[in-house]
Structure 1
Amino acid sequence: MIIQEYDDAWSIINKIDPDVLNNDKNLLMQYYYLRGYLNVLDDGDLFDAVFDFNRILSELDTRGETIFTFLSFVGMGMVYAKQGDDSKSEYYFSKVFNNIYTMSIDDVSKIWRYINIIFYCAIYYSEKQDLETANALLNYGVKVCAENHVTYYIARIYAQLAMNENRVNGNNEKVQSYIDKALVFSEFNGNKKEIEVIKRWVKANNL
């Protein structure tokens, strides 16, 4: 999912029988969160996505004690953003934003999920033209990646920073630096889709 190979992700998740996971709540939440995100990100069924996120919020983590609640809030926010419902999308993203800087990372396996939350919140605020909030989140994402020695989402974070900087100040050295970093990390992570996205954007903006 991180490198946007959605067809491969679908082929894997479609082989999983959720009934087999009933005795492991964590695995079940991971399954529903991943399936929900795939539907949102790969232009799938948004009603199915809402069902998946609601399974977590109303049944599997009713007290909001795990990171899957926040992942589901982000997922719900993305669903309503896709539908053009600003009030509902803002409702869910604000629930996450109010807690994002205080979430504890007490397990290395949670880091990429935490960065996922930061990244998609930043994308949301970028699309809402709240670039100050978006860039603060993106730079925080870079900091989390650096401190935990991970490269999850780092290419896409730098690519979004380049796009946001270009919107405000046009092409400059900072934009070029972000693009260079985005391409390097995309290559490092084998993210061919992101390389294509970056090159199309660069061409479209005559950079």
Structure 2
Amino acid sequence: MDLVTGEDGRARPAWATSSHAYLEYYDTEWGMPVRDERGLFERISLEGFQAGLSWSTILAKRENFRDAFANFDPDAVAGFGPAKIEELMNNVGIIRNRRKIEATISNAQATIDLRPDGGLPLLIWSHLPKTTPLPQTMDEIRAVSGESVALSKTLKKHGFTFVGPTTVYALMQAIGMVDDHLIGSWRRGSSGIFGPDGRVLPQP
């Protein structure tokens, strides 16, 4: 079954009940709007590190990532030099992938460079779709969308890396730009961005 009803009477997708970490993440964070620069930079970074790995691996190391990357302060991360990169490569608490580490640092600078034009939040949220899917099964949840392709191209144009369409779609799901909670899940509609018909609601 795609939805599982827990002892608390709440229905969730099976993946969200597979571990305590997933349960907490699903119930409190996944799909909720993130509109601040630091929060968005953190999620872009973590989605990039997740490429080719399971999200559970990232969740388990999330606090280590925050410690290693100055709580994902773009100004601090942009200043990381060769010595810091080597330090990170020896940090067993994170994913020790040089390309991903270097991408995070260059993405921090790209985030800073966007500020004169309105910043990272404006760029990302300008790609908010007018409608969101209404999935009833996990098989109906897609991996990319027209908006994720467009946002991926825009981010790359501004110097970001490790932001392919699939990674960007996962980002959009995570930050509430897409509501991929299954119909019937207690979290469906929790972002407040889309109505029951899947259409975007008037935004403040």
TM-score scaled to structure 1, two decimals? 0.30
Structure having the higher helix fraction is 1
Give the alignment's TM-score, normalised by structure 2.
0.30
Query: Which structure has more RCO (C-alpha within 8 Å, separation ≥ 6)?
Result: 2
